Structure 1
Amino acid sequence: MLNGFPRGRTAIVGAATFGVGKTPGHEAMDLAALASLRALAEAGLTPGDVDALFIAQPQDTLATLSFAEYLGIEPKVTSNNRSGGSAFLLHLEHAALALDAGLADVALIAYGSNQATASGKLVQTSRPSNWEAPYKPLRPISSYALAAARHMHRYGTTKRQLAEVAVAARRWAQLNPEAVAREPLDLDSVVNARLVSDPLGVRDCCLVTDGAAAVVMVRAERAPDHAARPVYLLGAASAVTHADIAAMPDLTVTGAAQSGGRAFAQAGVGPADIDVLQLYDAFTINPILFLEDLGFCAKGEGGPFVEGGRIGPGGSLPVNTSGGGLSYCHPGMFGLFTVVESVRQLRGDAGARQVAGAKLALAHGNGGVLSSQATAIFGTAETR
């Protein structure tokens, strides 16, 4: 156990999605269940084999109870930690600890949302604080716009550099047949798009879709019995810095600076070793902040770092190879999709978007308004 974490002693043996885009006639729990059945089938398992259940549904505060009932199971370990989009990477961290301790044998982490067909817009699950409400912010975009504006003011980051993030995501999405937005997108179209909350325009914002994802974890010694190419969890860490954006200690520094450092220490690797990154890109400012805070470039250099297609197909650092929340899907919370894409890349199952020779992947989740950060590092058998 390295730095308190069971490095490489648990593995993902099933990872699946379902209903990405729009799925009329399905409730959120239906979608989560169908993704879970796919992930379990990949591992040669059934719902009855699951004895640890992790799920966070925005509209269901007792999701572990209702989902266990839906699947017809009686798990020994449950959690519905609700930290926003980072929740599912927290679940990874906690599932690894529970499995390694022998508290359970098969952990299922699941999420589903029918947000697009149910409401057609982003569903709010929290309200502005008494200190922010008088200013009538657009939640959550106004909070991210504040972070973007501060980064631009302090470091000279430009709207065109933000646009580089959106264009790179779209180019990856064009290689992903499951992606929702695959039409061409250029820098000018992003920069000149309708303004939503200054300085962020509509193309700086994530999609609103339906969709579900699920992963299945077991202890490493059991992994070869369930998957030809298990993906091992080498490190996982998290950090919370605030709730409301008005209380964020520094609008240009996120908790990823803490979670990333701990995850790298657990995994025994550094940024230069990572082959592919999946970063929670609810807004274009996010990957710029996370690239800096995770150590892929210095603070303030995120804007220049992403220029010239560096993080897109053919670039030197593959980021959000599925198309991310900006172009692949964003069903309310995107965290678990970063994990599924990491697994697909390390298994070599990503098709036209496959990063050749990928052995180490980093997934990063973001919750609230840059409030909760969670980082996970995965590896193939040879990196374990």
Structure 2
Amino acid sequence: MATTDAFIVGLYEHPTRRADGLSRARLHADVAHGALADAGLTIHDVDGYFCAADAPGVGALSMAEHLGLSNVRYADSTETGGSSYLFHVQHAIDAIRAGRCNVALITMADNQLGDKRAFGLSGVDMLSAPDIRFASFPPAPLYAMVAARHMHEYGTTSEQLAWIKVAASHHAQHNPHALLRDIVTVEEVLASPLVADPLHRLDCCVMTDGGGALVIAREEIARSTGKPLVRIAGSGCAIGHANGGLIDLTRTAGVRSAADAFAEAGIERSDIKYASLYDSFTITVLVQIEDIGFCEKGTGGAFVADGNLISGVGRLPFNTDGGGLCSNHPGNRGGMTKLLEAARQARGSAHPAVQVPNCDLALAHGTGGVIAGHHGSSTIILERI
């Protein structure tokens, strides 16, 4: 048992979905100041800083100067795509427990739409990777390949996948910042154009600008803020890849990251009241539900059907902000927004229409890269105490 606990004390999500006229550096500064204001802290309290390749310049070096972070003694620029920020949470916990820092700031922001750049992963040169078989393809066909394999092996249907989008849309209607706020039906998802068979357009996430930030602190600082105490009870990180072709397309490294997180937290899957799940595509959600252990492999289709992911209706409320399928997926990096909504649920500060009652245990799970090839998976469990 760790002798020092770490708590989420501040959070902020940028309201923009298209950042015309706003630089990436400005967006990082906006979310940093927003999260620190939420925590009742200042730039001068921060002694640990975490960012990924979406931060412009030389990672933490450039951003520390831009933000005016004068007391940083621990920095981390780990890059694992959209899951980077969940990796950062685990690293921040380790740094706080080791006495390397007391207040950790994690920022994420991007402006690809507003800046009219090619849409990819900012700061990452995918084409220089040693194996570009997966980097050189658009993501939809790769996820379609996963969906087709899951359907072939387990009988999963397009109707079942569509229920994931339906659930997200039921939640997005209550989020004033969501890009897509209209409720959709299973029939509307199936009627939308095919992007890569069997995935339809409404099976795919939105593309936006924006970002968010988290502040994590040791316990005595957390108690002094007056905010609800949200402890990081468990964490796990793992990397998966194609392994020279010896890959099971229906499984991700989330099997390992989730096992570590639940072992550290000392709880069961059935104890989780809410889950933020990476939703680049509907199939991403279904595979994660199975890999995390909410149901057996191959039964995810039945698990997500008939509104089972809708808050107040189903057994596992998910992505109550609308998620990447409806609300926000800045820079193709959805991990930060998953952490933010999980923290809001654990605090009890999600929208009243979707707030899960007595949400004392919430989970956030991120998958960066592509699950048909190289990817990083991370699982974070939050506990309100």
TM-score normalised by L of structure 2: 0.92
Farther off after superposition, 65-74 or 152-161: 65-74
Residue of structure 2 equivalent to 1:372:
376
**Alpha carbons of structure 1 residues 131 and 219: separation in structure 2 relative to 1, 3 Å:** closer
C-alpha contact 2:361 2:382 (8 A) present in aligned 1: yes
Unaligned segments of structure 2, at least 5 residues? none
Q: Which amino acid aligns with 1:38?
A: G
C-alpha contact 1:132 1:246 (8 A) present in aligned 2: no
Cα distance per residue 1:280-320 (max 9 Å; x no partner): 00010011001101110000000111110000132221011
C-alpha contact 2:18 2:111 (8 A) present in aligned 1: yes
Equivalent residue runs for 1:162-181 within 5 Å: 162-181=161-180
Q: Structure 1 segments of 4 or more deviating over 6 A?
A: 128-132
For 1:146 and 1:309, the matched residues in 2 are separated by: 25
For 2:187 and 2:243, the matched residues in 1 are separated by: 29
For 1:7 and 1:186, the matched residues in 2 are separated by: 49
**Alpha carbons of structure 1 residues 30 and 204: separation in structure 2 relative to 1, 3 Å:** same
For 1:122 and 1:246, the matched residues in 2 are separated by: 28
Farther off after superposition, 9-18 or 184-193: 184-193
For 2:350 and 2:69, the matched residues in 1 are separated by: 32
Equivalent residue runs for 1:243-282 within 5 Å: 247=245, 249-282=247-280
For 1:378 and 1:215, the matched residues in 2 are separated by: 13
Equivalent residue runs for 1:271-350 within 5 Å: 271-313=269-311, 314-332=313-331, 333-350=333-350
Does 2:222 align with 1:223? yes
Give SS of 2:113's match.
helix
Q: Which amino acid aligns with 1:73?
A: L
Equivalent residue runs for 1:95-114 within 5 Å: 95-114=92-111
Unaligned segments of structure 1, at least 5 residues? none
Deviation at 1:130, TM superposition (A): 7.8
Q: Percent identity?
A: 40
Give SS of 1:365's match.
strand
**Alpha carbons of structure 1 residues 131 and 55: separation in structure 2 relative to 1, 3 Å:** closer
Q: Which amino acid aligns with 1:374?
A: S
Residue of structure 1 equivalent to 2:37:
41
For 1:234 and 1:325, the matched residues in 2 are separated by: 25
Does 2:115 align with 1:118? yes
Equivalent residue runs for 1:109-258 within 5 Å: 109-119=106-116, 122-124=119-121, 125=124, 126-127=126-127, 133=133, 138-242=137-241, 247=245, 249-258=247-256
Q: Which amino acid aligns with 2:33?
A: L
C-alpha contact 2:21 2:115 (8 A) present in aligned 1: no
Cα distance per residue 1:64-88 (max 9 Å; x no partner): 1111111112411111111001110
Cα distance per residue 1:228-253 (max 9 Å; x no partner): 212100011111011x5974621001
C-alpha contact 1:237 1:375 (8 A) present in aligned 2: yes
Farther off after superposition, 141-150 or 299-308: 141-150
Deviation at 1:93, TM superposition (A): 0.3
C-alpha contact 1:10 1:218 (8 A) present in aligned 2: yes
C-alpha contact 1:42 1:227 (8 A) present in aligned 2: no
**Alpha carbons of structure 1 residues 59 and 108: separation in structure 2 relative to 1, 3 Å:** closer
C-alpha contact 2:13 2:213 (8 A) present in aligned 1: yes
For 1:169 and 1:245, the matched residues in 2 are separated by: 33
C-alpha contact 1:7 1:233 (8 A) present in aligned 2: no
For 1:7 and 1:187, the matched residues in 2 are separated by: 48
C-alpha contact 2:365 2:379 (8 A) present in aligned 1: yes
Deviation at 1:116, TM superposition (A): 2.3
C-alpha contact 2:39 2:227 (8 A) present in aligned 1: no
Deviation at 1:123, TM superposition (A): 2.0
Give SS of 1:366's match.
strand
Give SS of 2:222's match.
helix
RMSD: 2.0
C-alpha contact 1:232 1:380 (8 A) present in aligned 2: yes
For 1:79 and 1:311, the matched residues in 2 are separated by: 34
Give SS of 1:64's match.
helix
Give SS of 1:152's match.
helix
Equivalent residue runs for 1:34-113 within 5 Å: 34-58=30-54, 60=56, 62-74=58-70, 75-113=72-110
Give SS of 1:169's match.
helix
Q: Which amino acid aligns with 1:357?
A: N
C-alpha contact 2:127 2:135 (8 A) present in aligned 1: no
Cα distance per residue 1:91-129 (max 9 Å; x no partner): 000000101111111100110011222237632542397
**Alpha carbons of structure 1 residues 155 and 7: separation in structure 2 relative to 1, 3 Å:** farther
For 1:315 and 1:61, the matched residues in 2 are separated by: 44
Cα distance per residue 1:126-183 (max 9 Å; x no partner): 23978765x9964222221111111011111111111111111111111222211101
Deviation at 1:194, TM superposition (A): 1.3
Give SS of 2:114's match.
helix
For 1:103 and 1:378, the matched residues in 2 are separated by: 22
Cα distance per residue 1:300-357 (max 9 Å; x no partner): 0001111100001322210111111101100120101111111111111112221111
Deviation at 1:48, TM superposition (A): 1.5
C-alpha contact 1:14 1:227 (8 A) present in aligned 2: no
Does 2:356 align with 1:360? no
C-alpha contact 2:55 2:108 (8 A) present in aligned 1: no
C-alpha contact 1:53 1:78 (8 A) present in aligned 2: yes
